[in-house]
Chain A
Amino acid sequence: MAYRKRSLSRRIVLYVCVLVVLGFVLSPYLLGIVTSFEREAELVGRPPFPFKAISLVLDNYMYILSYEPFSLAFLDSLMVAVLTTCFVMIAGSMGAFAIAHLRFRGRNFLFNFVVVVYMLPALAMLIPIVVLLKELALLDTIVGMMFAHSILLLPLMTWFLIGIYENVPADILEALQMDGTSRIRSLFREVIPLSRFGFFLILVFSFVTSWNDLMFANTVGIVQVKLLQPRILEFMSGARVLYTQMAAAGILSSLPVVALAIVLQKQIIAGIMKGAIK
């Protein structure tokens, strides 16, 4: 791109606008982080930060990390998010490969159906799902939660994967066929390694959606499986923890997903360009 010299005033305007947007995006976090390092007594007194000094104590983090309802929920959420991501990747990959590269009756119908199903509000499914899981004895279990979260993800992720697999040239698959490799084997041995860059989008999207979900987690998990986001809601509505501790819990619970999104940012852009928007 040719470099154009901008006038000084234009540059100042540009930087001011960028700072305003960044301030808007980051201010809730900045304040949340400050709050999590405060003492409660100093926090609730007025005037508020940034109109007075902050105390910088680690007590809130120590308390939250040793508070069992939080740490157990953190581990449960991690387990559910990993399992959901694996399930969506495997079931989605197999289905998407078939829709992208094999000819069979009802292929186009299935492709459109996947999109329409994604548009439907999950709540319309949630209500019978709770009844169904109750009858299958899966209500309030990790596996039940994994299935519930897959409802949110499988159609859309399959749709993304179809876009990714369509980029794999059909010639390669034909050549493999000539060599006598079965189609199902060629999916796992060739197609998946070839399209691994597209997977990061699926990976991040699935993990983040499962980790962040509140509605399903709050309804499918009741006593045995209490995930992280319902716990945070409990902190917010109950009086069991202080504001400063609540902020520490919030920062900790968004750490894995925010870190994942930032670390894999470039791969996400590549995935959006290849799969989602064409």
Chain B
Amino acid sequence: MPRLKAESRDAAILLSPFFVFLAVFMIYPLIASFYLTLNDIALSDLKPVFLGIGNYVELFSDKLFQQALLQTLAYLTFHTAVGVPFGLAIALLFNEEFRGRGFARACLLIPWATPPIVAAMLMYILLNAGFGPVIYAFEIAGLLPTQYTIFGNPDLALLGLAIVSLWKSSPLFAFIFLSGLQNLPSEVVESARVYGASSVGIFRRITLPFLKPVLAVNCILSGILALSGTQAFDIVIGITGGGPGYRTYMLYFLAWNQAFPWNRLGYGSTIAYVVTIIAVVFALVLLRIWYRRK
């Protein structure tokens, strides 16, 4: 047994920086933030006033919270149900042979690497009503009235943000799908073709089942990004700031607003906890669907 003991000792030494960091900066804050949800506390003086479950009760009467919840779910659904299949389509296209394929694939990394706030800025320049060429093109084609604003329209602003996040995410999904496709055994595809299988058949019977684990990774990634990643914060604060009239508030953005600008750390933490619960449920539901199909 001395060997195992020495191994445990070495493991302890190697794990100590990792573990100390985890304990101080992640586990302690998680527990502390649960304590915060039971209090009313401001960043300015840090004096907690105990409320019990008061913050949780407030959620039920908070109209802004409920609106942000619905908007978050819509955004999440669009991001996953449109973004991931779009990424898959791009990946299948870029898996074909054509001139400049290497360049085209490298371009897929650009939106991912772009700072989200810069992505928000570039998309704002592209889509704004004044000097944005896209709106102008629709205008001279007679499809839109003069100086039409997407992000200022209460009914379209959320869709506008969803399109911006589509630009940021789906090329990344495509890139990850492509990395997965590199392992697809080409002999199997070729022999299926020789035996007369159609392209659709090959996709359904060979490619798609092969990509299943990658699809799972992308769906979970999509959930994280849309619920609690840069897509739920940077892009919102950069383009609409939650407006017009709270129509683009997401839970994550609302939680941050409550905690910092509005100085309600306790209530902000409570909303952050709700986001956590949705994230865990989303991941569990996905995994469940997964394993049942298997």
Most buried by A among B15, B130, B260, B272: B15
List the B side residues contacting A69 at CB < 8 Å: none
* Min CB–CB distance B225 → chain A (angstroms): 11
The stretch of B52-60, B74-82, B114-122 in contact with A is B114-122
Q: Which of A17, A28, A269 contacts B119 (CB 8 A)?
A: A28
List the A side residues contacting B180 at CB < 8 Å: 273, 277
Q: Which of A3, A48, A97, A105 contacts B136 (CB 8 A)?
A: A48
B4 within 8 A of A: yes
Q: Which A141-162 residues sit within 8 Å CB-CB of chain B?
A: 147, 150-151, 154-155, 158
Most buried by A among B24, B167, B228, B283: B228
List the A side residues contacting B107 at CB < 8 Å: 22, 25-26
* Min CB–CB distance B193 → chain A (angstroms): 9
The stretch of A59-67, A192-200, A210-218 in contact with B is A210-218
Number of residue pairs across A and B with beta carbons under 8 Å? 280
List the B side residues contacting A243 at CB < 8 Å: 125, 131
Tally of B interface residues using CB under 8 Å: 98
- Are B117 and A233 within 8 A (Cβ)? yes
- Are B265 and A127 within 8 A (Cβ)? yes
Chain A, 242-253, contact with B by CB distance < 8 Å: what is the 0/1 string?
A: 010011001001
- Are A120 and B279 within 8 A (Cβ)? yes
Chain A's closest residue to B107 (CB) is A25
CA distance A123 to B43 in the complex (A): 15
A58 within 8 A of B: no
Chain B, 94-113, contact with A by CB distance < 8 Å: what is the 0/1 string?
A: 10111000001111111111
- Are B28 and A132 within 8 A (Cβ)? yes
CA distance A49 to B60 in the complex (A): 49
- Are B29 and A277 within 8 A (Cβ)? no
Chain B's closest residue to A133 (CB) is B25
Q: Which of B14, B111, B132, B213 contacts A94 (CB 8 A)?
A: B14
CA distance A107 to B97 in the complex (A): 45
- Are B283 and A31 within 8 A (Cβ)? no
A117 within 8 A of B: yes
- Are B171 and A25 within 8 A (Cβ)? yes
